[in-house]
Structure 1
């Protein structure tokens, strides 16, 4: 029998300062890490991995030494990962894992918050529905959700929602933790406490319906979560299924994932399409490898190749350059994916606190980073580029 070791909690019941709640998860690096590592603060819906055996990841004999690879600032990639509060990091090149490591007490089998990287899964589901003729991306969202008629989000087409080109505004709120200032989505999802005298939306549907038109749809890039939530509503209206169920049927159960994933819910049980998914590092690497292989993985075509090709084309770079995401120089946003237009043909799913699934087709590389970075820099890190350039030289 394996010997029993002491738990990380030194006192039971735990001390008040050791308990992470909706009132304090965003107040310190330690609490944020616990929030990212655990989905216990909110209700969730399981995304089942299916009953098949996990696909085996192949590990290269010679693993990368990230202490010896420097970014453009002369900092080692390992130091970069530690400085940016990385919880887990994996590099796959030519189908083999060259590096896999875990930090800050995070375990390989734990689900990690993906936050806005969830949006990229929504983009795939919407594209599949369009591919099957269930929706027309050129129709307004209010065509599918009549309740949206007269709202800011109802004015945009499905494609404009996919590309974050429906500029809207919401009731301004000043939440106690500071996160989500100027938009009530975090209160609507029940993720944080409501400020005093709050009179805003109490769930995601109310949040979507509260949107007001700011600019003409299709004339600017405006990244915000309501557009993805509107897509989530359209998905459910057309299929009668929850987003988690569709991700399970179409993607997760076909990957040969090791673990179930999870979708967090708002207070009335609605899937948080804009940022509710949680998964493990290895399973996200499997997903990234599927995207790298143009939708083919585990012996089957999971996503049609032309849907992946369309993502890689990217969107309107001028609009993004004129937005508050102008620090992502050269980027565009298309079908809920960030497209970097770099020399590696890179595109990525990205989420708050520095979650990233980066796919570099021209370098045959997938890099996954899961983090609890409270204050990410507005400057794009060069760690990923340093790794790929190192591999290219070899």
Structure 2
């Protein structure tokens, strides 16, 4: 087999890159370790920046998004005696869209299928080879036999545990990482959401978030110790703890009842540099992870896709290699800004085990300043709706 760009990873980043490249007449084959049903079962909330929404339009995969996405022009913050709204639209002229990550993935698969493009599922033992040459290729097991895929370039959109990043030489890779001492317990409710916009709440008991799976169902998160397991939390315990951490008007509106989709996600910051080696380029979680507090995970992957898409288009249309050469530095410059924002939101709203009285006072002062300063709210809003590419 041969293609121009081999894409490892059939999640939203890999599929979006493939679809965008197709619009420019660039051939791709997508290789995915898991079967499609398993990929689509990865249900995660998604707050989409304007840039990602624009990319989905450009990729021809926005019909369902336009019909079902929830456009939010603000967010609410509470804690330490403060309770206020950040008006994203008034402060920046922009907004965000709530649309589940699994829906994005399904839309991109449907668009790819409609074009008859090649996506291979159930690929195991994938290994990029000769990536520092002008003839890279991949070997992988599929259909009961070993296969070889020759290509011009490899895009590693295969997550933090995928095979691509492992091919960057150890003595060339710098990994910067911070693990936070808590996680988020996430659950879904079939009852109507209790908020119209996302509510980020800090309290002496820890962080809580009220979100929306869609217009008819709510999604909720609690800061919990990493020693907890999802099964440690009964439905009633989750509702009671949410009520303790949320503003009274929201606490009084909590519906109770059954909860599903229970999981605990550790909070982690991670950046790998460089994001390219030879003719292999890393996108998304393969190169970086942010805490979910700033809603930047999928959006940061989308910015990588945007840079790589334009770099590859420049190469194939004009023979211009400048975008490819600059890809890592260009992507990392924006990534570190999103890391800063996610880190600042996490520190603002969570309780840390080793916080001193001074730390707590600084946290209170920061939230109070944010509540009363349009300039500070503008900075937060600009980052939340998405920095320019």
Q: Could you tell me the TM-score, scaled by structure 2's length?
A: 0.26
Larger-gyration structure (1/2): 2
- TM-score, normalization: structure 1? 0.26
Structure (1/2) with the larger strand percentage: 2
**Larger relative CO (CA 8 A, sep 6+): 1 or 2?**
1
